[in-house]
Amino acid sequence: MCSTCFKADINLKRCEGCKAYWYCSRECQKKSWPDHKFTCEEVEGSGRVERRIRSLMSNPLLGLYIQITLALEFDMVNHPEDSREPFEAQIEVVIEPTTLSALASLLDGQRPQKKMQGMLQLTQLISPLSVGVNEAMTHSRNEVWRSAREKMDARGHPNVRVGLLDIATDGTHSATCFPVHVSERILHAIRNQHRVRVPIMEHGFLAVPTTVHKCMEYLNLSIRYDTNNEWMLRTNVRHLDKQTIFAAREARPGQQSAASYFGEKMMREVIYMPRFWTVESAI
């Protein structure tokens, strides 16, 4: 799918810089560049999961979902007066098996395959971030935010909300930090309940989600149905992820742990309910 016009095309060309954007024509690539140049970077040299995280954050369609999620979490539509204030949030992710049968085997404690194909999935949005970060880190994060804020102002968008989003993979404080923004058109779409493209649907469009968890569910489903891995969000399931998934059956909801976050994801997303949970436990 073209990253600019979202048209399905068998002759897509990949961006040589970040390897995450796809284009159906030179015209679409040129049209995308004024925005894409701020996130386009080589991602091949980092670790497997780090590359998938960077692919997620540079994907234009999934980026819309992330913007909607943040706008809903911070109630930006009803608080336009905060447009110059920074915000901070963290998204927990896991590498989940691409098939439900493989997921079931991990949950049942069966001996897993040595190599199991997985995909990046979002499990929880956390905000505001926990306090207790040292002064040097706080200063560093402020500099990242300030630089992103200045770039947005220079592009003529002084009222666009700019913040910092951490992506964590193991339920700990170790995370990759990204400057993010929520565009005015996203707020307009939420305010007027416009429709957004959802590639898993026959007609391709669905009303803007009205809750954070529903938006994350749509994003996860979109990743799940990218079976050709055009978005570069698939990789082998790590041993750490297998442990997290196995522990999810016994984790208590509300705990601040990767296993608890994954268990809550299975409890609320429709795709799991017929296979893993009774009607009573899914409610």
What does the pLDDT look like over 134-177, one tens digit per residue?
A: 444 577 888 889 999 999 999 999 999 999 999 988 655 567 88
Per-residue model confidence (pLDDT) at position 196 = 60
* Residue whose C-alpha is closest to residue 264's, from 218, 211, 213: 213
Looking at the fold, whether 4 and 80 belong to one and the same domain comes out as no
Looking at the fold, whether 4 and 63 belong to one and the same domain comes out as no
Query: Measured at the alpha carbon of residue 264, what is the angle toward residues 261 and 265, in degrees to the nearest 5?
Result: 85
* pLDDT, averaged in runs of 10, over the chain (283 residues): 66 73 84 73 56 90 91 93 91 95 89 85 84 55 91 93 90 75 89 65 60 92 92 91 90 86 93 61 37
For residues 11, 15, 16 and 20, what is the CA-based torsion angle, rounded to 10 degrees? -110
Per-residue model confidence (pLDDT) at position 71 = 94
Per-residue model confidence (pLDDT) at position 42 = 44
Per-residue model confidence (pLDDT) at position 46 = 40
Looking at the fold, whether 68 and 173 belong to one and the same domain comes out as yes
How many domains does the chain fold into?
Answer: 2
Q: Does pTM surpass 0.75? A: yes
Looking at the fold, whether 29 and 149 belong to one and the same domain comes out as no
* Domain span including residue 204: 47-282
Per-residue model confidence (pLDDT) at position 204 = 56
Looking at the fold, whether 144 and 22 belong to one and the same domain comes out as no
* CA neighbours closer than 13 Å in the CB half-sphere of residue 186: 25
Euclidean distance between the first and the last CA atom of the chain, given in angstroms as a whole number = 35
Looking at the fold, whether 3 and 57 belong to one and the same domain comes out as no
Looking at the fold, whether 108 and 233 belong to one and the same domain comes out as yes
